[in-house]
Amino acid sequence: MNDCSENPLGSYLKDRRAKLDPAALGFPSGRRRTAGLRREEVAQRANISPTWYTWLEQGRGGAPSADVLDRIARALMLTEVEREHLFLLGLGRAPEAHYKKNDTVTPRLQRVLDALDPVPAIIRTAMWDVLAWNKAALLMLGDYASLPPDQRNILRHIFLDPRSRATQYDWESVARFAIGSFRVEVARAGAAAEVGPMVEDLCRLSPDFKRMWEEKVVQGPHGEKIKRIRHPVLGPFAFEYSTFAVDGRTDLNMMVYNPATKADAEKIKALL
C-alpha cells in the first residue's frame, strides 16, 4: 500500500486484490497485465456494480455503505484486522461488532497470567465467562478449575454462589455495578443475542438478578477501581483492579487484581 496516496481507500483495495490468486477463486488465470483479481472480478464476488467498485478505487462516488464494505471485505478475503482497517479508511470508524464465541486462550496468554503470580489475574469473555486464570486467582477469587466450563461465569458466581455474598462488604452495590457494566460490554461486543439464554436462566434462579436486570441500569467500564473482600483465610483484603483489552482478541479482557499494599502481596505469596 502506498501511504502517500491521496486516495488511501483505493490504494488499499488495489493492494488487497493484487494479492489474490484468480485461479484459486475460479477465474481464468490466462494472460493478465497485473497480478491478482481484476476490478470486475472483485465486483462480481461482492455482488456490486463494477462501475461502483471502480469509482471506489478511483476515489469517486462518495462514501460507501457499511454493507458494501462488508461485501468487499468478504470478496477480498480480508482478516478481521484488515476488515477493520477497510472500514476506518472508508467510513472513518470501525465496523459494528459481531460476537464470535471462542472458548480458548493461547499458551502465550496463559504464560502471561502465570508470570503475574502472586498478583491474581483472569481472562474473561464479553459474556463474563472465565477462560483462564493463575494460581493467585484461584486462591483469592474462586476455584474456577473445580467448576464445569459452563459454570465459570462471574455473574453466576455473584448471584448464585452464597460464598460471594459472604466475601463482599457491600454485595448489593457490587452486584448492581456488575450488571450495569455487563450490559455495556455485551452491547459493545455485539453479543446481545447470545446473552439471552443466560439472562433467562439467572432471572429464573435469582430474584435479585431479575430485580436488578429489569432496572436496566448501565455503568461505565471497570477502569481502575478498588475491590474489598473478606478472605476466609487472610481476612480483610483490598485489591486495585484494572481491566485490559487483549490485543488481537476483541472478545477478551484481562482483569488484574493488584494487592493494595505490600503486606497484602506478601500474604498471597505465603499462601501460595
Band (2; pLDDT cuts 50, 70, 90): very low
- Across 150-163, average pLDDT: 92
Give residue 233's pLDDT.
Answer: 85
Q: What is the mean pLDDT of the segment spanning 49-58?
A: 92
Q: 99 and 251 in contact (C-beta within 8 Å)?
A: yes
pLDDT band at residue 98 under the 50/70/90 scheme: low
- Residue pLDDT, tens place only, 202-250: 999 999 999 999 988 777 655 557 888 888 888 888 899 888 888 777 7
Q: Which domains does the chain have, with CATH numbers?
A: 8-91 (1.10.260.40), 107-271 (3.30.450.180)
Q: How confident is the model at residue 159 (pLDDT cuts 50, 70, 90)?
A: very high
pLDDT above 80 (res 259)? yes
Query: pLDDT-based confidence at 153, cuts 50/70/90?
Result: very high
What pLDDT is stored for residue 63 in this prediction? 82
Q: From CA 54, how far away is CA 50, in angstroms rounded? A: 6
Cα 178 to Cα 143, 171, 213, 247: the distances in Å are 20, 10, 10, 23
Closest CA to 137 of 123, 127, 156: 123
| Integer angstrom CA distances of residue 170 from 158, 174, 223 | 12, 6, 19
- For residue 49, the model assigns a pLDDT of 92
The pLDDT of residue 133: 96
Residue range 121-136: mean pLDDT, rounded: 94
